[in-house]
Structure 1
Amino acid sequence: MISKSGFTKFNISEIEEWIANLRVAKTILYIQQHHTWNPSYISFHNNNHFELQLAMKNYHVSHNGWMDIGQHFTTFPDGSILTGRSLEQSPACIYGFNANAICIENLGNFDLGKDTMTAAQQETVVRLTAALCKKFNFTINSDRIVYHHWFNLLTGERNNGAKNNKSCPGTNFFGGNKVAECEENFLPLIADALNAVVPLTVIPVLKYVCVIVSILNIRADASAKSKKVKGREAAVSGAILRVYEIKNGWYRISSSANDWVNASYTKDVKRYSVNADVLNVRSGPGTAYPKVASLSKNQEVFVPKKKITDIKFRWIINGSKKSFYL
C-alpha cells in the first residue's frame, strides 16, 4: 500500500481488507462500472499509476470543472487499484445517476478490437466489486451493479443502450456491455467470488435522514462534547445516512460502532422504489411542466418531503435544493 498525490495504491488483497474495515456514513445503493477509454493500455507503463490518476484528476477539475477526480476507484492492467474521490462524495460518472453510487473506472479501452483486459485486471474488477457488494450487503443483480452504457447521456434516463449512449465500459467488457451480457458473464463471477462468504447479520435501519449542513461531524457518543471519531470523514450536505439508534437528539449511524451525529442537522427522508417502467421527473406538479429527467423501474430515491395538493405529489429528491415532481 503506497500513497502519493492524494491517492492510495492497493493490491486486491489489501483493498479487500481495507473495504472490510471501511466506515462510510452515506448510504450506498449502486456500483457503476466504467472504462477510461483514454488513457488506454498504451499509456500504462507498469509504474505510472499515480501519474495517470493525477492526469485524470487534473482533466476532470480543470476541463470539466468538477470538484475532484470523478471516480472513487481506478483499476489497472497489473491488478492494482488506486483510490479517487472520497466515498462520502457522490461520483461524477453517470449523469442523473450519481447519488448513492460508487464509481469504478477500469483503465483501458474495452471496445471490441481495442484493449484485451489482462487476467490480473479481470480478477481485480471482480473481487473489488464483490468486496463492495459484501460491505454494503448488495443483492447481485443489474439494478445494483450498472454499466454507463445503459444511461442516456443527455437525460440520465436508463434505456439499456437504446439511444444516445456511450459504449462504456466497453463493447467487450466481460463479453459485452448489454444488460443480458452483464447478467450472463459478469454478475455470475461476482456471485462466485462471494460464495464462500458467510452472510453478515443485518441490523435493521430505523429510518433514513439527509444531511442539511455543509459538514456534519461524527462523534464517539451522543453529545457535542464527545470527541470526533478518528479515521472517519465528516458527512457532507445531501448525504443520506442510516439511523440505527436515537438518543437525546442524536442518531447512531453505524450498525457496529458508536458513531453519532446531531439530529438537528438532518432531515427525515423516506426510501422509495420506482415500480413503473419509466417515471418522469418534472419541474412542477403536473404533466404540463417540462420533463427534466426520468427514473427507471427498481431505481430508488430518498424523499425529504411529500405534499399532496389536488392529488399532485411534490417531491424533493436526494436533498436537492431544487424542487422536482413525479
Structure 2
Amino acid sequence: MESKYGFLKMNLGEFENWVNSQRIARTILHVQQHHTWVPNYSHFNGSNHFERQLAMKNHHVGANGWSDIGQHFTIFPDGQIVTGRSLEATPACIYGNNQHSICFEHLGNFDVGGDQMTAAQRQAIIKTTALICQKFNLPVNPNSIVYHHWFELGTGRRNDGSGNNKSCPGNNFFGGNKVQDFNQNFAPLIQEELGGSPLPLVPPSLRYAVVTANRLNVRVGPSGSESKASDRAPVERGAVLRIYDEKNNWLKISKSQSHWVYSRYTLEVKRATVNATVLRVRSGPGTSYSIVGNLPKSEEVFIAGESNGWCKLALEEKWLSKQYLDFVN
C-alpha cells in the first residue's frame, strides 16, 4: 500500500483488508460504475497512478467546481485501486442520483473500438464491486449496481439509456452498457464472486435518521464531553444513519462500537421501497407539480415527511405518491 497526494494505492488483497476495516456512518444503497474515457490506456504508463488521480482531482475541482475529486475509487489497467474522496462524502458522478452511493471510475475508454480491458482490471472491477455489495448487504441487481448510461445526462432521470445519455461505463463494458447486458454479463460475475448465496437482509426494525448539520461529529459515548471517534470521519449533511440505540438525545450509529451522534442535528426518516414499475418524482406533493425524475421498481428511498398522501424524500424537495411505496417498518 502506497500513499501520495492524499490518495492510497492498493492491490486487491490490500483493498479487501482496507475496505473491511472502514467504519462508514452513511447508509449505502448503490454502487456506481463509470469509465474515465479520458484519461484512457494511452495516458497510463504503469507507474503514474497518483499523477493521473491528481490530474482528475484538479479537473473536477478547477473546471467542474466540485469540492473534491468526484469518485471514491479509480481502478487502473494493472488492477491497482486508488482512493478518491472520503467514503463519508456523497460522490459527484451521476447528476441527481449520487445520494447513498459509492462511485467507481475505471480508467480507460470501454466503448467499442476503444481500450481492450486487461484481465487484471477486469478482475479488480468484479472483486471490488462484490466487496462493496458484501459490506453493505446490497443485492446484485440493477437497482443496487448502476451504470451512468442509465441516467439522462441533463436531468438525471433514469431512462435506462433510451435518451440523451453518456455511454459510460462504455458500450463494450462487460459486453455492453444496457440493463440487459448487466443482467446477462456483469451481475452473474458479481454473484459468483459472492459465492452464489444471497446476502443477509437488513433488519426491518432498524431505525434511520438523516443528518441536517453540515458536518456531524461522532463521539465514543452519548455525551458532548466524550471524545471524538478516532476511526471515523465526521458525517456530512444528507447522510442517512442507521440507529441502534438512543440515550439522552444521543443516537448510537454502530452495531458493534460505542459511536454516537447528537440527535438535535438529525431528522428521523423511514425506509421504503417503490412498488410501481416506474414512479414519477415531483417537485411538490401533488400531480400538479412538475416531474423532476423517476424511480424504478424496488428502488429504496428514505422518507422524511408526508402531506396529503405524498411523501418527501429526506432533505430534498422531491415528492412521491405514498400509494406506490412499501414501508420497511
Of 301, 314, 319, 2:315 maps to 319
- Structure 1's 314 and 140: CA in aligned 2 closer, same or farther, altered over 3 A? closer
> SS at 1:138's partner residue?
coil
- 1:183 and 1:243 map into 2 onto residues whose CA distance is 33
> SS at 1:16's partner residue?
helix
- 1:27 and 1:212 map into 2 onto residues whose CA distance is 15
Match runs of 1:30-49 below 5 Å: 30-49=30-49
Question: For residue 271 of structure 1, what is the aligned residue in structure 2?
Answer: 271
Match runs of 1:4-19 below 5 Å: 4-19=4-19
Question: For residue 75 of structure 2, what is the aligned residue in structure 1?
Answer: 75
Q: Confirm or deny: 8 A CA contact 1:156 1:294 kept in the other structure.
A: no
The aligned length equals 321
Residue 94 (structure 2) pairs with residue 97 (structure 1): no
1:152-181 CA deviation, whole Å, 9 max, x = no partner? 112212111111111110111111111111
Q: Confirm or deny: 8 A CA contact 1:157 1:296 kept in the other structure.
A: no
Q: Which amino acid aligns with 2:2?
A: I
Deviation at 1:204, TM superposition (A): 6.2
> SS at 1:231's partner residue?
coil
- 1:200 and 1:219 map into 2 onto residues whose CA distance is 28
- 1:273 and 1:203 map into 2 onto residues whose CA distance is 14
The more displaced of 62-71 and 297-306 is 297-306
> SS at 2:302's partner residue?
strand
Question: For residue 326 of structure 2, what is the aligned residue in structure 1?
Answer: none
- Structure 1's 22 and 205: CA in aligned 2 closer, same or farther, altered over 3 A? farther
Question: For residue 238 of structure 2, what is the aligned residue in structure 1?
Answer: 238
- Structure 1's 205 and 241: CA in aligned 2 closer, same or farther, altered over 3 A? farther
> SS at 1:304's partner residue?
strand
> SS at 1:39's partner residue?
coil
Deviation at 1:196, TM superposition (A): 8.2
Question: For residue 186 of structure 1, what is the aligned residue in structure 2?
Answer: 186
- 1:288 and 1:252 map into 2 onto residues whose CA distance is 40
Deviation at 1:313, TM superposition (A): 2.1
Deviation at 1:203, TM superposition (A): 6.1
Deviation at 1:283, TM superposition (A): 2.3
Q: Confirm or deny: 8 A CA contact 1:204 1:244 kept in the other structure.
A: no
- 1:185 and 1:139 map into 2 onto residues whose CA distance is 16
Q: Which amino acid aligns with 1:79?
A: G
**TM-score, scaled relative to structure 2:** 0.93
- 1:245 and 1:114 map into 2 onto residues whose CA distance is 51
1:81-104 CA deviation, whole Å, 9 max, x = no partner? 011111111111111211001110
Task: Report the aligned-residue RMSD.
Answer: 1.9
Q: Structure 1 vs Structure 2: percent identity of aligned residues?
A: 52
Question: For residue 296 of structure 2, what is the aligned residue in structure 1?
Answer: 296
Deviation at 1:129, TM superposition (A): 0.5
- 2:245 and 2:154 map into 1 onto residues whose CA distance is 41
Deviation at 1:198, TM superposition (A): 10
Q: Which amino acid aligns with 1:318?
A: A
Question: For residue 53 of structure 1, what is the aligned residue in structure 2?
Answer: 53
Q: Confirm or deny: 8 A CA contact 1:205 1:244 kept in the other structure.
A: no
The more displaced of 166-175 and 279-288 is 279-288
Q: Confirm or deny: 8 A CA contact 1:39 1:107 kept in the other structure.
A: yes
- 2:232 and 2:80 map into 1 onto residues whose CA distance is 24
Deviation at 1:211, TM superposition (A): 0.7
Q: Which amino acid aligns with 1:44?
A: F
Residue 145 (structure 2) pairs with residue 145 (structure 1): yes
Q: Confirm or deny: 8 A CA contact 1:221 1:259 kept in the other structure.
A: yes
Deviation at 1:268, TM superposition (A): 0.6
1:55-110 CA deviation, whole Å, 9 max, x = no partner? 11111111111111110100000110011111111111111211001110000000
Question: For residue 117 of structure 1, what is the aligned residue in structure 2?
Answer: 117
Q: Confirm or deny: 8 A CA contact 1:79 1:123 kept in the other structure.
A: yes
- 1:218 and 1:233 map into 2 onto residues whose CA distance is 8
- Structure 1's 197 and 19: CA in aligned 2 closer, same or farther, altered over 3 A? farther
Question: For residue 211 of structure 1, what is the aligned residue in structure 2?
Answer: 211
Q: Confirm or deny: 8 A CA contact 2:221 2:259 kept in the other structure.
A: yes
Q: Confirm or deny: 8 A CA contact 2:137 2:201 kept in the other structure.
A: no
Question: For residue 248 of structure 1, what is the aligned residue in structure 2?
Answer: 248
- Structure 1's 323 and 169: CA in aligned 2 closer, same or farther, altered over 3 A? closer
Q: Confirm or deny: 8 A CA contact 2:221 2:260 kept in the other structure.
A: yes
> SS at 1:261's partner residue?
strand
Deviation at 1:33, TM superposition (A): 0.4
> SS at 1:114's partner residue?
coil
Q: Confirm or deny: 8 A CA contact 2:27 2:242 kept in the other structure.
A: yes
The more displaced of 203-212 and 248-257 is 203-212
Deviation at 1:314, TM superposition (A): 5.1
- Structure 1's 20 and 282: CA in aligned 2 closer, same or farther, altered over 3 A? same
Q: Confirm or deny: 8 A CA contact 2:211 2:235 kept in the other structure.
A: yes
- 1:293 and 1:183 map into 2 onto residues whose CA distance is 23
